[in-house]
Every structure is written in structure tokens, then in C-alpha cells.
A and B are shown apart, each in its own frame.
Chain A
Amino acid sequence: MSEKTAHGAPDSPAPRGRARRKKATALGGGDKLVLGLMLGIPTLIHLLLVWVPTLGSVALSFGSWDGIGGFEDIKWVGFQNYVDIFTSYPRFWPAFRHNVIWLVFLMVLPTVAGLFLAVLLDRKLRFGRIYQSALYLPMVLSLALVGFIWQLIYQPEQGLLNSILGTTENNPTNWLGDPDINLYAVLVAAAWRHTGYIMLLYLAGLKSVDPALKEAASLDGANAFQTFTRVTFPVLKPVNIVVFVVTVIESLRAFDIVYIINKGRNGLELLSVLVTDNIIGESSRIGWGSALAVILLLISLSVIITYLYQEFSKENRA
């Protein structure tokens, strides 16, 4: 920017108009058109397919519509959908609770394990690369596939887990069928995939920590733990934010694995499942599904805005 305006500024009484014209001539008509298309086409696609539907969700959430007929068949009901969801929809609060548990679980277990493993691996270590590869291998698998693979472990009579525990005979634990425990069983599988990702993020972050800092700390008599908490961890703040954002978004998006296991019923309800049920499930209540989507949107936006603020304010300073 500085360069372009610098050209236009000195001799022009109306800097803004001149600068714009300068830029135009600097680029030339053809170039301007090409650049406009290069920026415009992708932006249009993104706006049309991501942000227009987002606004659509907001609009439709105030209506009542079974999806049959045109838009003129929508009855506008104000906040009624929201009121109904919060007060009289039996599946909402369980789903909400499950999403919160999902988030807390992923925030604690994979994050702590991932950070711990990253710290262990962030040194010159024989076989270090092999360890790393093994630990993040699960993350190339889709969550749907993770659901498939873990079913082999959780099956009551033939699964690995009950075999190891010796509980395959009389009344074996039904890990995925018992609504009191199946959420946690699924979460272990989800955490299995998530931990490697977190480890990678932290490993990259740790590499950027200046070794001189750690050296100075240990020269001053800090032990390994102190060096980590006082020197390394504060430097990891940007990574922590990325991990936080990734985990929240992942928790809100969670869908595939529960859908594969039992279509998100019987203890595995999630907000994402409730939304999807309104399109491919038995009930087709567009306004209702949209109101649920808006609730998801509001939760995710709070995190997204935090992230954007952190990411792009850093950029401006640099």
C-alpha cells in the first residue's frame, strides 16, 4: 500500500482520487480485469455456498416450514422455534450436554497427552521420527472409519476390550450400546485420533522456542519442570490458541463417528445430529433444524472471532 500511495500523494491535491487512478494505470485495464476475476470468482463461490447459506439458516430459523412447496409456504413464527427447542424438545439438552462433555473431554485428555508427548519428542532422540509417525498415524483416518475400527474393539462378545478384561461371558459390557457409557467409549476413540494432531501442533510450536532461552533458564538453576512452565509454555501461547480453536470446532463438528455407530441415538445425541436429522432423517422441519444450526453458529462464532482477533492482530503488528 505504502508504495502505491507514495506515488500518488506528493503532487495531488485530491490524493484519494489520484491514487486510485494511479493504481489503475499501474495495473492496466487487462490486468485489472484478470486480477478482479482471480479474486472475484473464488470469493463469489465462497460467499454463495458458505455465507449465503449461513444467513439462510438465520432467516429460516424464524420460520416454520416442512420443506414442501416454495418459500411462500413458510410461516414466520419469530422466536418460537428457539423457545420450543429450549423448553420442550427432549433431545436438545442431552445433545447439548453431550457436546459439552465432548469438548471438555477433548480439551483435557488429548491436549494434555499431546503436549506431554510433544515435550518428550522435542529433543534429539533415536527413533524419534518413527515414534512421531506412529503417534499421529490415526489422524489420517476419517472419523467414520475410526468408528468402524473401534467397533471391533467394543463389541460385547467378540471385541478386544471385553476379551482383555475377561468379561465376554455372561452379561458382557455393551460399550457402545449402554447409554451410560457409550459416549465415553466413543470419546476414547475420538481422542485416539485427536491426540496425534495436538502433538504435531505442539511439536511445531516447541521447535520455534529459542533454545537459548531454555539454556539460560537451566544455567540459572531452573529444573526441567520449571523451565517448561516458566519459559516454554508462555512462548507456546499462539499454539495453545490454535489447539483451543481446533478442539472447539472439532467438538461442534463431531458427527461421523456417532452416525456410523448408531445414527446418533441412545446416548450419542449431538447437536450436529439433530440438525442433520432434519434433512436426511425422518423429520423434515426446516425452521427447526435452522434454529439448531444458528445455536451452533453462535457458539462457533464466539470462538472464531477470538481466533481471528488473535491471528490477524498479530499480523498487523508485524
Chain B
Amino acid sequence: MTTSVKARKAPLRPGRVVLHVFLVLTCLMTLAPLLWAVYASLRTYDDTARNGYFSLPESLTLDNFSNAWTTGDLPHYYLNTFLITLPAVLLTLLFSSMVAFGVSRFSFKFNLGLLMLFTAGNLLPQQVIVTPLWRLYRLIEVPEWISESGTLIDSQLGVVMIHIAFQIGFCTFVLSNYMKTIPHELTEAARVDGASVFRQYWQVILPLCRPALAALATLEFTWIYNDFLWALVLIQTGEKMPITSALQNLRGSFFTDNNLVAAGSLLVALPTLVVFFALQRQFVSGLTLGSTKG
């Protein structure tokens, strides 16, 4: 079959040329907003103030990036984000793989109900729960070394927890589908050899789920990194905001210098762009794992 395809590709048909031209143009149009931001970020404020943005540059510089880095206090906000994102991703994967293991390896009556509960919960718009959650967080008391407010409100732990609670749904759904494709004989054999339930999970099933876990980790990292609403609502101190929610503050500190805004935006996008280029396959398979199972 591959040879026939190759044979067909050899003579360049006009249809193919049109297709390529169309696709190249579409791709350029898709990338245009980002390229425009890159272009603006590389020019000086004076240059664009004199000549407008829609012009050839007098000079190109990286100054805007270093400026945005320091005036926006970006390292601080990156740190905030990673303090929220990393535990949230790890714990989401841990919890959801445990549930997925349970429902895919054992036949409890409530399996289907549990899966449906998780899936439905994951699909709810956040605004449905945000008001009572905010109230609830003010009622849950935590020691002061976790949160200065004495409750979950205005604490990064609170944001981590809601991310976990929400994302468990999607990951459980994907992982349980994945685990169902692993033959039961494997855990049966382990059980006969005297392996405990936890060892069956940790040493038999989990290692086999590495591709799915990698895909989900990539996807969840992007999603949680990109979260805007939870932190905006649940965190009140601007200093504690993760970087995406802090965008609003950044604009304030960049006043109306669009070049600086562009550079700042690109810096904020950088981690997700790096993930995209480095782990594209995982990213894509994570998305499609959840949606199509044949």
C-alpha cells in the first residue's frame, strides 16, 4: 500500500500543488497573531512610536524581554505557578490512576456510576461551583504555615486541591479506558504469586500505563498552567497569583507599552510552547485518548 501511495505521489499533480498552497497560507494565517507578537516584542518603544507597528524595524532588540522579566517580576510568578502546577499534576495522576485501577480491575456494582460521576463532574462549568466553593474554603481551617489567612481561601493549597478534584474526572476516564486494554491475566498472575492489591497497582499496572500517564501529564500541565479562573477567584493576594492570573497585574506594570506587553505575553506562553514542541506527540495523544476509543 505504501508503494502505491509513493507511486501516486511521484508526479506532482496540480491538485496537490493547490492543496499545499492552501495549507501553507492557512498555516501562516494561523501563526500570524503569534508572529505579530514576536515582531512587536523585538522592536523598541521609540521605533514603533515614531513609525507605527505596521512598518519595517529600525533595529531589533531583546531588551523588551529582559524588561518584562524584571518589571513584571516574572520569576516570582513562574515560581507561584510551578508550586501549584507540579503538585496538582502529580497528585491528579496518582489519584486518578488509583481509581482507574480499581474500576478497571475489579467489578464493583458502583463502577459505572463512579465513572459517570467523575466524567460529569469534570464537564461542569467552573462557575457552577465557584460561589459555594469560595464559601466552603473560608470555612475549612488550615494551620497558618499553610495559609496565612488560616483558611483555604487565599492559599495555593486551595487552588491545588480544586485542580485535583476537577481534573481527576478526565484522567480517570482516560486511564480506565487504557487499563481495560491491559490483559487481566497479568494481575491474575501477580495475585496468584501473592502480590497485594497495592503491588498489582504499583508494580504491574502503573508501569504499563506510562504512555498514557505521559500524555496526561503533558496535557494536564498545559491546562493547569493555563488556568485563569480558579486562582483569580480563590486567591486574593496578587503576590500569590500564578502567572496566568497575574497577567492582569502585568498589564498594569507595563502601562501601555505594547512592545513590552508582547514580550511579556510570549514569556508567559513560553513554558507551554516548550512543552508543545518537545512533547507534541504526548500532547496530541492525550487529547485524542479521551475522545476516541474506536
* A-to-B contact residues, CB < 8 Å: 1-4, 27-28, 30-31, 34-35, 38-39, 41-43, 45-54, 56-57, 60, 67, 117, 120-121, 124-127, 130-131, 133-138, 140-145, 148-153, 155, 158-160, 163-164, 168, 189, 192, 195-197, 200-201, 203-205, 208, 238-239, 242, 245, 249, 252-253, 255-256, 259-260, 271-272, 275-276, 278-280, 286, 289-290, 292-294, 296-297, 300-301, 303-305, 307-308, 311-312, 315-316
Q: Are A57 and B132 in contact (CB under 8 A)?
A: yes
Q: Are A57 and B129 in contact (CB under 8 A)?
A: yes
B151 sits at the interface (CB 8 A): no
Q: Are B165 and A49 in contact (CB under 8 A)?
A: yes
Known interface pairs A38-B99, A163-B53, A312-B116. Does A31 touch B197 (Cβ–Cβ under 8 Å)?
yes
Q: Are A296 and B128 in contact (CB under 8 A)?
A: yes
Q: Which of B23, B125, B166 has the most CB of A within 10 A?
A: B125
List residues 123-153 of chain B with CB under 8 A from any CB of chain A: 123-136
Rounded to whole Å, the gap between the CB of A272 and the closest CB of chain B is: 5
Q: Are A255 and B37 in contact (CB under 8 A)?
A: no
Q: Are A253 and B125 in contact (CB under 8 A)?
A: yes
Interface string of B22-52 (1 = CB under 8 A from A): 1110110011111011001000000010001
List residues 155-183 of chain B with CB under 8 A from any CB of chain A: 161-162, 164-166, 168-169, 172
Q: Are B129 and A242 in contact (CB under 8 A)?
A: no
Q: Within the complex, which residue of B23, B166, B201, B229 is in contact with A255, where a contact is CB–CB below 8 Å?
A: B229
Q: Are B247 and A140 in contact (CB under 8 A)?
A: no
Interface size class of B (residues with CB under 8 A): 35 or more
Q: Are B123 and A245 in contact (CB under 8 A)?
A: yes
Q: Within the complex, which residue of A45, A141, A150, A293 is in contact with B168, where a contact is CB–CB below 8 Å?
A: A45
B112 sits at the interface (CB 8 A): yes
Q: Are B114 and A43 in contact (CB under 8 A)?
A: yes
Q: Within the complex, which residue of B26, B166, B169, B226 is in contact with A117, where a contact is CB–CB below 8 Å?
A: B26
Q: Are A297 and B30 in contact (CB under 8 A)?
A: no
Q: Are B258 and A50 in contact (CB under 8 A)?
A: no
A294: chain B residues at CB < 8 Å are: 128
Q: Given the complex of chains A and B, what is the CA–CA distance between A103 and B245 in angstroms?
A: 25
Q: Given the complex of chains A and B, what is the CA–CA distance between A196 and B135 in angstroms?
A: 37
* B-to-A contact residues, CB < 8 Å: 5, 9, 19-20, 22-24, 26-27, 30-34, 36-37, 40, 48, 52-54, 95-96, 98-99, 101-103, 106-107, 112, 114-121, 123-136, 161-162, 164-166, 168-169, 172, 196-198, 201, 222, 225-229, 232-233, 244-245, 247-248, 251, 258, 261-262, 265, 268-269, 272-273, 275-276, 280, 283-284, 287-288, 291-292, 294
Q: Are A135 and B127 in contact (CB under 8 A)?
A: no
Q: Given the complex of chains A and B, what is the CA–CA distance between A209 and B23 in angstroms?
A: 23
B134: chain A residues at CB < 8 Å are: 279
Which residue on B lies nearest to A42, using beta carbons?
B95
B20: chain A residues at CB < 8 Å are: 126-127
Rounded to whole Å, the gap between the CB of A220 and the closest CB of chain B is: 19
B53: chain A residues at CB < 8 Å are: 152, 158-160, 163
Q: Given the complex of chains A and B, what is the CA–CA distance between A113 and B77 in angstroms?
A: 36
Question: Main SS of the interface on chain A?
Answer: helix
Which residue on A lies nearest to B229, using beta carbons?
A255
Since A142-B228, A144-B226 are in contact, a sample of 10 more A-B pairs with Cβ atoms closer than 8 Å, ordered by chain A residue number, is A27-B197, A42-B95, A42-B99, A46-B117, A56-B132, A127-B20, A131-B26, A142-B272, A158-B48, A158-B53
Rounded to whole Å, the gap between the CB of B149 and the closest CB of chain A is: 16
Q: Are B131 and A35 in contact (CB under 8 A)?
A: no
Q: Are A120 and B23 in contact (CB under 8 A)?
A: yes
Q: Within the complex, which residue of A39, A140, A142, A260 is in contact with B114, where a contact is CB–CB below 8 Å?
A: A39
Q: Are A133 and B272 in contact (CB under 8 A)?
A: no
Q: Are A53 and B117 in contact (CB under 8 A)?
A: no
Rounded to whole Å, the gap between the CB of A300 and the closest CB of chain B is: 6
Q: Given the complex of chains A and B, what is the CA–CA distance between A251 and B145 in angstroms?
A: 39
Sample (9) of A-B pairs whose CB atoms are under 8 Å apart: A35-B197, A41-B98, A51-B117, A164-B54, A192-B30, A260-B248, A272-B125, A301-B120, A308-B116
Q: Within the complex, which residue of A52, A155, A201, A307 is in contact with B258, where a contact is CB–CB below 8 Å?
A: A155
Closest 9 CB pairs of A and B: A56-B132, A1-B107, A142-B226, A163-B54, A49-B165, A204-B288, A53-B129, A42-B95, A134-B27
Rounded to whole Å, the gap between the CB of B237 and the closest CB of chain A is: 13
B292: chain A residues at CB < 8 Å are: 201, 204-205, 208, 238-239, 242
A204: chain B residues at CB < 8 Å are: 287-288, 291-292
Q: Are B162 and A49 in contact (CB under 8 A)?
A: yes
Q: Are B107 and A278 in contact (CB under 8 A)?
A: no
Q: Which of A49, A275, A316 has the most CB of B within 10 A?
A: A49
